[in-house]
Amino acid sequence: MLLLFLRGIKMIIDVRLESLDSTSEAKVVRILKKTGEKVKPGDVLFELEADKSSFSVESSAQGIISEILVEESQTVKACDLMAKIDGTPCGQATASDDNGGFNYFGNLLKPRKQEMECDITIIGGGPGGYVAAIQAAKMGAKVILIEKDTLGGTCLNRGCIPTKSLVRSAEVYNNLKDAENFGCHAEKISVDIKKVVSRKDRIINQLVKGIDYILKKHNVKVIKGTGEIKDSQTVFVKEGVAEITIKTKNIIIATGSKSSSLPIPGKDLECVMDSSDALQMDELPEKMVIIGGGVIGMEFAFIFSGFGVDVTVVEFLDEVLAAFDSDIIEEISKIAKGKGIKIFTGSKVEQIIQGEDGQSIVVFSKDNEKKYISADKVLMAVGRQPSLDGLDVASLGLELNDKGRGIKVNEKMQTNIPNIYAIGDVTNRVLLAHVASHQGIVAVKNIMGVPSEIDYNVIPSAIFTDPEIAMVGIGEKAAKKQGIDVEVGKFPFAASGKALTMGESRGFVKIIKQKCTGKILGGAIIGPHATDLIAEIALAVKKGLTCEDVIETVHAHPTTAEAIHEAVLAAESGAIHFVN
């Protein structure tokens, strides 16, 4: 501690590699400073790589580099000596205040003003923003990406990836419980939710590091802070004590969305969670009520039911997953019931009450009758809404969609201000991560002079219930509403050899064929690997393939993909391995 009181005493400071998270060594990729060069605290001295992620070694002192002890491409280990600095360690008093004394914190608190220039500034580092940044850099643009939280956005940190990690843990747990049916034995089976969450966090951390690595490889400048658009060519952001003004030719807004909530009395009680809270639980409740039977609600219903929680879903509409065809809804509702998930549709939650015993009581009305359900936890899963926080859309003159939900864009992802684009959930078009990524690519291509548009008619939807559900193109319900004359082909997984070997007999593949042309207009799958299999149907719809085109394509045996082939046959001339 004595160093803190020495007046600017210089010394030789060792620069060593700190401990490494998940590996024993790293490679020196770049050396950014030379012997004899001046440095200050925070200056990046070295860039390293380990496990396909990159990180920096920064100076903790102010002074002159007296010696560099490593070379580029050299492998180093934790605690290895990398350089020496002749100077003053961070924390020593080296500057005086107005009275001649030492001001330990004055320079630290004083904002550092910086100015930068670039071709494209992207606000938001989610699946839309970071993909746009990589695409732009690959096309030769100088890119700055601003992210206030963690790279990957909601999808990677609080949505798609973490929920799928929990889905997999629930799947493994239930496979163990069902081991006897496969001729295997498993005893003392249980769930450790803390370890489930820990595994989820490790996966997220690995993927975030991977994104950071790729961005650095493409020389994308990432700034941690909240971006504020001053005008069509100026973005201001605070990064720690730095105040950065960015002069930019183009701006892409990719600020995503946030959880919606309903004005239900009691929604602020401690027992009420949103999806982010549900992903951080360190203890499983015995009973849970989920408000909302859409995609988020139904995924969590199957996740927690899979972990042994008593789950009840309360949905305002007359059906859960209302965007799907009735046969899909009927099938997943039947499966949910078989798993003990109770579903109340056509029901409106009136109130959430905290009981004397610590439990909560959800009060809802159905068919003009009040009903009451007790639960340890209540999950609010009523969708998401565009995040316009921090965007002064009125001052900028940005035009919003009808009802003011989301930024209005054309098919090129361009706003009413020519050099400002918006992508992802903030546009309120289709709130899906893969849509945001594709919109990001479309926006960048147009900025870089390559005409591009997005086709919203071929957007696959994926729901990770048990079994999975996926859909693309026009459904049977939509076709009838639009007056399109179609034929439907269906094939059950109960007739699939591969599905039966997996112990999966639930669900089916459904193909929608236009009668007059024979073209595949859409399809839906409920069953094993549905979210992977939907890609074949999406490609068929996108390319305008006919049923005959798919029939003539040889599908490997035994695979679940054969069910698509059979469903297409059913829509054309009749399935081979199933008779209605």
User: Exposure of 180 by Cβ count < 10 A (0-12 exposed, 13-18 middle, 19+ buried)?
Assistant: exposed
Distance in angstroms (rounded) separating the CA atoms of residues 65 and 106: 25
H/E stretch holding 500: helix 497-501
Tokens representing residue 374 in the block:
């007790």
Has 565 been annotated as catalytic?
no
Give the Cβ contact number of residue 518 at 10 Å.
15
**How far apart, in whole angstroms, are the C-alpha atoms of residue 119 and residue 137?**
10
The phi, psi pair for 281, rounded to 5°, reads -65, 135
Tokens of 386: 């565009």
CB–CB of 412/441 below 8 Å?
no
Residue 8 phi/psi, 5-degree rounding, is 65, 25
Sheet bearing 347-354, strands edge to edge: 347-354, 360-366, 369-375
- Name residue 538's amino acid: A
Distance CA 315, CA 348 (A): 7
Point out the catalytic residue in the list 218, 529, 557, 577: 557
Phi/psi region, residue 417 (left: phi>0; alpha: psi -120 to 50; beta: rest), is beta
Asked if 303 and 167 touch (Cβ cutoff 8 Å), the reply is yes
Both tokens assigned to 252: 């892409």
How far apart (Å, rounded) are the C-alpha atoms in residues 531 and 547?
Answer: 21
**For the residues of 385-447, what is the DSSP string, one character each?**
EE--TT--HHHHTPPB-GGG-SB---TTSB-SSTTEEE-GGGGTS---HHHHHHHHHHHHHHH
Residues recognised as catalytic: 557
